Structure 1
């Protein structure tokens, strides 16, 4: 008997198929309405790396309290004149500085030129101040009371107006730091989306032959994603989402949306070939594959929700952004897809480039001896006789896996191990402005600063010694001791003398690294100052020390992410294990899924390290030099990929489980499931890979990383893992794969990912008569 939920899914699918026009109109109305609402009330996206409770944030709070002009968030306006010293344009520089000081949220703007009467620095002398020794490069340090990247692109109009006198005087003006990030051109992902869609059309046409069946997944996924992005824009009006959020949501939404629609359409077309009318076929597809879609979507959302374990709102909201389009993709698959299937009726295969194909149920149906005439006719229409189907390429491959499972298992593990080797050398960090394209103003500012002042000038560190609780009589000795400790610090190119604030309660200095901000030597310098140098300098006193600034905050962010990544991995793996255990009620099946998915993700991490950190192909992707792996990318990839891999896991295992309940033959069930799902999994994976890989064309290095990493993960998972390791492991496990302790079977809720076998055309026995049920002791499902 169908479960209540199964009945709901079937009734929803059938109703949508019967009333296709109404459902399509409702979706289009929602699409237009959400777009209008988002344009009127939607918010902006910005990068806010605020880390409450971190030492860099506490140091910033101390500065704000005692020296507001030295606190806040700093950015540089870099000036360069190749023809003459900048002292010749002191008037325009003074005017620009004055105008910058009047802008909203600006605490201070420092004039880089020396005061009148001050002798110029000697040629070749170390550049301590904001004016280079040759006088041709300088930078105005602008301090804001909020993160500049959160102010919106319209804020740049005021900045451009303020520096216009300099540009009119022939001075090159570039924006560095957070102000330069604000000036980056808005991401335009239309090219990536078009390429992904184009490849998807080709894959679907080649794989399934039907033009209508090829276009339908793309249309439904696009509508669902656009609705999801509009909802995300409305959420952005209330919460701060990172600038990469809509791109990430688009990538995930398109990928899962096309996959989910493809799963339903494939099952629906087989139902049509089995002799059912279109509404009934659509309803049955929603009750079977639709349930797998629902379980898969929930698993993806659960995995993305695991990102909140990081305790960092920035990362948790990235997961939330991706989850929004996953929700709309699931809703689109369960309602819009059946509606379009109902409208298409039996004309779904009228336009085709070759003979349309769908799933075949001949292998295990023949083994069970329960195939009906409708099933046999469907198999014949799908591509020939039952015997022909059993002689197909995928059937022969499945038989090879069944005969030599150890060879396939060992081969797959070796391939994953080789791909994962670079992971042993992974270096997390922050991708600096130096890796951006030269067309970006922050990259040009980075190069000018590096050339004139050294690479460390792009990431100055503010050292803070809070001596509020130190008696006045002890402050002089404390300052002398601290200054002595700051001499000869490894990896420090320069540390300026400690200067007291106006109230005398805080000492401030600036440290410059010998390397650029993304270099591991800069990270080492920050950690050395925070953990050793400054604490030892004030040892025995009540003074507190901090290292703050944008670079220091990025290092704190890295430390927090690195320390919490194992926890996130444990939580996501644990949740996925529970989902597989509840759905398929097999302890070893769940363990196998968790282990193989971890191996798959480790291999994809290795690909990222080789391409970006080692530079193997980075220049071809538009990446300048070798860059570290952005600190939060592995965390995001793990949650996303672990969730997405459940799509293929559930789709394949549900068919194995379905055949196992019908036949009781574990090995034949694996071969049968592999035969009928291989084409769909392969096509779905190629589509998702094309969608993700197209985003390497983005100007954002982080988007390139995510695109390549997700593409590699899906490709590895859908080929090496899903078509090789899973069948081999399941064949070796045999009946043990579905073993569950009796006490655990009673405790776990019952969820059937494919709606059981009672409605299946080849079902030979009711679910209650399936192998392993009703026995004593432990349960084998």
Structure 2
């Protein structure tokens, strides 16, 4: 690490140019290649996945995306001459637009000879037309979809409301990351300036993080061509990369500034900052990446892409922190210190620094009242975690979008929750997520049984409407569409899927060779959630075991890893409680512009556990490392905990405030999934830094005394020794005296 720092300082211009060239090259390549993101939740081998595969094979003409144009009138009916003339003309224009394969109008007969009247609600106030695009959603051109939206909404007016919904239409409402990024960076800049008092030092962590995240974002775009990468992966990568990138650079810059105040030259201070804090940054980044890559054990292609994309961002932020940052430190010289600090250094020379102020007083307060504060902190975390027991994994749909979006309005009109709801308008809540029953048929007996199935389904509780059956050309595959009485995201619809699979369909199959599989949006997400829930214990166990092993090797203690695992679980559970209350219970979600209450995305627990365990490890190592060093020197547990907390709490809290600001800014992204990550991660970091690491952990360590550092002698002899801090330097190599309290551990 020392050699790397010296090389980057000697060739600072070369390093900066190389980073600029890497960013420009990857950005140009990504711009030329474009993106190929995919939100494919289907898991091979599940029933819904099999149903989807059979549909694609038997009915290839249905591979294109089908969206809806919905219109509603209060004063009359949609069959009125003026409304029919306006909408017929509009639908004809849309049918001629590029990218549109077909428009199925409710007026007149369809191409298959069926009447379009079923596309008009019973009260006559709402109607819809299906717009079939010529390619799947993942391949649609957003500009072409925008043309459809603009053409349709141009017909609105004179009491006629026109809205659009569907997966393709959602492309026109895709969140823009620029606003959250700018807000997060501005908030981070304010915190950094308050901490440093120097504009030059303030912008170094931000420049470093932006360079890394920008390069990673373009790299994720290229990665999407090689594997399945979710469309929220780039924004998730930005969210994580900006948070950890600024924090890692903060640790190194803080250490560099202390070296300057101790009288070291610019190159000496930067070299020692990277030598000491750079090792800790690499260790911390590695733990985050390993926690993220733990998602690979789930063997789900959807999560594999997310894991690699997020890990790529973290790797580049670490690389920028130990290469680009020292080059920039050498470039700005003594301006890393504020004018006042430079003047004091010139007038009074190097000075020793001791922990004073709020940090020292707080550390003493925790030492005097460990039981009271520990119980209060634990009770607070448990209360926040209670909503987690009611966690409902599923998928939010366009009914959870902000009330002002056209997709939400179209959803409500179709469901009957819009303007016509009071008069029984719309088509029912289940219309937005019909179930698809796909049967494989072998012979006349199977086809006869499949023909009788709709009658059995109509008498099944929870079924509002049944259409079909339809058969492919060879009549070896049949399809029945079932509209539930409840919305796609509701528990009632999930119960209906389970009822069909366990009771209704097995009874219908009887002694035939027919096999009927249940597919559709709800079935697909339920299968995805069940696979994740089934593998979640293994995943969490692996992440906890690996993190505990690292802490066991680093601190030679049984108690430290066990407490760390417990604290990490508490942070995750409490943050999930907050996410559940806001997004599932709807406490303030509409006020925040995040739409209505709904289930929690099934992949959220996995990704958040990965990220939070990695981030929590940073703070745990930072705090306990200083305590461990003091324990080795004095064998006084109270002093070790008091000094460690006093000397690290300020940097932990500053880093946490920056990360909270960056994460919380992404609530404004307009995307429900990213907002879940933003709120979940921001709340977890806040609880981890301000409740766990600076209150509950030291309180527990005071109560346990010397037992904190107990390790059986036989295990101590067999464990390999690793060290986060570098080996001690020979006397005289360090230059001026090291400030008191300045320890070669994580970040300072």
TM-score under structure 2 normalisation?
0.88
Between the aligned partners of 2:470 and 2:181, the Cα distance in structure 1 is: 53
**Per the alignment, do residues 492 and 328 of structure 1 end up closer, same or farther by CA in structure 2, a change over 3 Å counting?**
same
Between the aligned partners of 1:245 and 1:435, the Cα distance in structure 2 is: 21
Q: Which is further off, 658-667 or 423-432?
A: 658-667
Between the aligned partners of 1:392 and 1:551, the Cα distance in structure 2 is: 56
SS in 2 for 1:522: helix
Between the aligned partners of 1:586 and 1:179, the Cα distance in structure 2 is: 55
Matched, 1:280 2:280: no
Matched, 1:337 2:325: yes
Residues 594 and 675, structure 2, Cα contact 8 Å, conserved in 1 = no
SS in 2 for 1:12: helix
Deviation string 1:566-599 (CA, Å, 9 cap, x unpaired) is: 2222222122222222333322211111111101
CA offset at residue 91 of structure 1? 10
Deviation string 1:488-539 (CA, Å, 9 cap, x unpaired) is: 3222222235454443333322211222212221222222222322122213
Between the aligned partners of 2:248 and 2:530, the Cα distance in structure 1 is: 37
Matched, 1:26 2:18: yes
Q: Which residue does 2:511 correspond to in 1?
A: 540
**Per the alignment, do residues 161 and 677 of structure 1 end up closer, same or farther by CA in structure 2, a change over 3 Å counting?**
closer
Q: Which residue does 1:40 correspond to in 2?
A: 32
Q: Which residue does 2:128 correspond to in 1?
A: 139
Residues 64 and 137, structure 2, Cα contact 8 Å, conserved in 1 = no
1:750 to 716, 721, 745: 721
How many pairs were matched up?
A: 722
- Which segments of 5 or more consecutive residues in structure 2 lack a partner in the other structure? 417-425, 744-748
Q: Which residue does 2:617 correspond to in 1?
A: 646
Matched, 1:454 2:428: yes
Deviation string 1:663-689 (CA, Å, 9 cap, x unpaired) is: 333331221121111111111100100
Residues 210 and 356, structure 1, Cα contact 8 Å, conserved in 2 = no
- Residues 454-603 of structure 1 mapped to structure 2, 5 A cutoff: 454-468=428-442, 471-473=443-445, 475-477=447-449, 479-480=451-452, 482-496=453-467, 498-603=469-574
Deviation string 1:618-655 (CA, Å, 9 cap, x unpaired) is: 12211333222222222211111111111111211222
Q: Which is further off, 731-740 or 632-641?
A: 731-740
- Residues 606-645 of structure 1 mapped to structure 2, 5 A cutoff: 606-645=577-616
Q: Which residue does 2:422 correspond to in 1?
A: none
- Residues 111-510 of structure 1 mapped to structure 2, 5 A cutoff: 111-115=105-109, 129-142=118-131, 147-156=136-145, 159=148, 174-184=163-173, 186-351=174-339, 380=352, 382=353, 389=354, 391-451=356-416, 452-468=426-442, 471-473=443-445, 475-477=447-449, 479-480=451-452, 482-496=453-467, 498-510=469-481
Between the aligned partners of 1:194 and 1:158, the Cα distance in structure 2 is: 29
- Which segments of 5 or more consecutive residues in structure 1 lack a partner in the other structure? 1-8, 122-126, 358-375, 383-388, 768-781
Between the aligned partners of 1:262 and 1:354, the Cα distance in structure 2 is: 20
Residues 637 and 706, structure 2, Cα contact 8 Å, conserved in 1 = yes
Residues 637 and 710, structure 1, Cα contact 8 Å, conserved in 2 = yes
SS in 1 for 2:70: strand
Between the aligned partners of 1:279 and 1:645, the Cα distance in structure 2 is: 32
Between the aligned partners of 1:207 and 1:164, the Cα distance in structure 2 is: 51
Q: Which is further off, 633-642 or 622-631?
A: 622-631
Residues 454 and 466, structure 2, Cα contact 8 Å, conserved in 1 = no
SS in 1 for 2:396: coil
CA offset at residue 729 of structure 1? 2.6
Between the aligned partners of 1:228 and 1:609, the Cα distance in structure 2 is: 31
Q: Which residue does 1:772 correspond to in 2?
A: none
Q: Which is further off, 24-33 or 81-90?
A: 81-90
CA offset at residue 263 of structure 1? 0.8
Residues 96 and 166, structure 1, Cα contact 8 Å, conserved in 2 = no
Residues 107 and 117, structure 2, Cα contact 8 Å, conserved in 1 = no
Between the aligned partners of 2:307 and 2:445, the Cα distance in structure 1 is: 53
CA offset at residue 114 of structure 1? 4.6
Between the aligned partners of 2:355 and 2:458, the Cα distance in structure 1 is: 78
SS in 1 for 2:483: strand
SS in 2 for 1:680: helix
Q: Which is further off, 267-276 or 668-677?
A: 267-276
Q: Which is further off, 599-608 or 492-501?
A: 492-501
